[in-house]
Amino acid sequence: MSFQDFGFIDPVLRGIEAMGYESATPIQERSIPVILNGSDLMGSAQTGTGKTAAFALPILHKLQAHGACRCLVLEPTRELAAQVETAFREYGKFTDLRVALIQGGVSFGPQRQQIEQGPDVIVATPGRLLDFLEQGEISLKDLQFLVLDEVDRMLDMGFLPQVRRIVEKCPKSRQTLFFSATLPPEIATMTQWVLKNPEVIEIGATRMPADTVTHALYPVAKDQKFDLLLALLERTHYESCIIFTSTKIAADQIAGRLEKLNHAVVALHSNRSQSERVEALEGFKSGKYEVLVATDIAARGLDIAGVSHVINYDVPGHPEDYVHRIGRTGRAKNVGDAFTIFTAEEIDTVRSIERFIQAKIPRQKLEGFEYIYTALFNEQSLTPGGVGKGVRTLKGYSFGARRRR
């Protein structure tokens, strides 16, 4: 379906063209008419499906031209808020609409200036927005669109009370768009007080990783985890790689050890300052860093183009996080690989992930790596092979010795 078919105003169509989008993705095809119609929406979709444009484009179309603050988008993390704000700016760059980013961790001054300039759209994290709302510096009285994005993450992070206070300050006559990758029972309760007769749109099975991602498990003895990580990095021809760890300490330690071995690496987690987090993400996006070592803060929704590989240094504790983590690669029709290193202690977690995604993840043994024996090797279906071998072959994708710096 072409974007012309939605009847968007010309400046929005030019924004889409400038982004190089040729046709709408499935979630866009289904959500855009609903939003244009004025209905509330409850959408669940896999990561990397084009969800941001699915809500941003019809909102920009309906806002048309600069006026009062009419749209509020709530995001669970500062990184996501920044990403969505950038998307609004880019899609709307041929309109005169103004977008403000309100997030914690940075000083109030510049944000206050953005508010004074009269934004049409505010993209915010809940805490800082509430500060401004409670001091009377932002008014939501003219609000027409409320977007609650990544709601399951918002709940995980304990933002529900703040979100409730914010929703209470919004006019009742608004249109509400609600997105969540997974829909646990708590969210059902929330939808009842936030949404009015929503259209429900579910794209694909939310439990499944995108089918452009090839994933495999690498069993190993605990003492050899770091060595196996190094071997995987050395033998993989990666463009850019995110390594996920379960703790902030582990993220720092691994980044430190890789740095000593001359990898261009940076760590991203919530104990780093806002400026460090921005520098890490920008550096990773620009190619200054080839490896980003991150906790789950980076797993949700972040759109980093060209991540060719994800390595889970630890098996994620929540099965949904597995889907989110490996969803960082293989985005928007590109292909990617995800490797998960795991030890005997983690076998139950692996099984719960397999139950969740309703598929067995192939086990791999890295050829030529000097393994210490682990009982995991007695598991059936362990394929000896190099990195990626024995898994679905990917067109135009190369594996081999890598020494780039």
- Interacting residues with ligand AMP between 322 and 361 (CB under 6 A): 331-332
User: Toward ligand AMP, which CB reaches closer, 79 or 303?
Assistant: 303
**Which one of 48-56, 277-285, 288-296, 345-353 is the stretch in contact with ligand AMP (CB under 6 A)?**
48-56
Q: Is 77 in the site for ligand AMP (CB under 6 A)?
A: no
Q: How far apart are CA 102 and CA 128, in angstroms?
A: 7
Q: CB of 46: closest distance to ligand AMP in angstroms?
A: 8
| Angle, in degrees to the nearest 10, between helices 126-134 and 160-168 | 40
The residue type of 142 is: D
Q: Which of 12, 15, 30, 52 binds ligand AMP (CB under 6 A)?
A: 52
**By CB under 6 A, how many residues form the interface with ligand AMP?**
14
Q: What is the DSSP string of 299-331?
A: TSS---TT--EEEESS--SSHHHHHHHHTTSS-
Place of tokens 């980076």: 298
Q: Is 48 in the site for ligand AMP (CB under 6 A)?
A: yes
Cα end-to-end distance, the chain, whole Å: 44
Task: Give the x/- contact pattern for ligand AMP in 22-41, rule: CB under 6 A.
Answer: --xx--x-------------
Q: How far apart are CA 78 and CA 127, in angstroms?
A: 11
Q: Which of 11, 15, 50, 92 binds ligand AMP (CB under 6 A)?
A: 50
Q: CB of 373: closest distance to ligand AMP in angstroms?
A: 42
User: Toward ligand AMP, which CB reaches closer, 19 or 347?
Assistant: 19
Nearest to 90 by CA among 176, 202, 185, 15: 15
User: Toward ligand AMP, which CB reaches closer, 24 or 231?
Assistant: 24
Q: CB of 119: closest distance to ligand AMP in angstroms?
A: 21
Q: What would the two tokens of residue 187 be?
A: 């969210």
Q: Which of 30, 51, 70, 324 binds ligand AMP (CB under 6 A)?
A: 51
The H-or-E segment that residue 242 falls in is strand 241-244
Q: Is 397 helix (H, G, I), strand (E, B) or coil?
A: coil
**All residues at 6 or more sequence positions from 107 whose CB lies less than 8 Å from its CB, including other chains:** none
Q: CB of 174: closest distance to ligand AMP in angstroms?
A: 22
Q: Which residues bind ligand AMP (CB under 6 A)?
A: 21, 24-25, 28, 48-53, 303, 305, 331-332
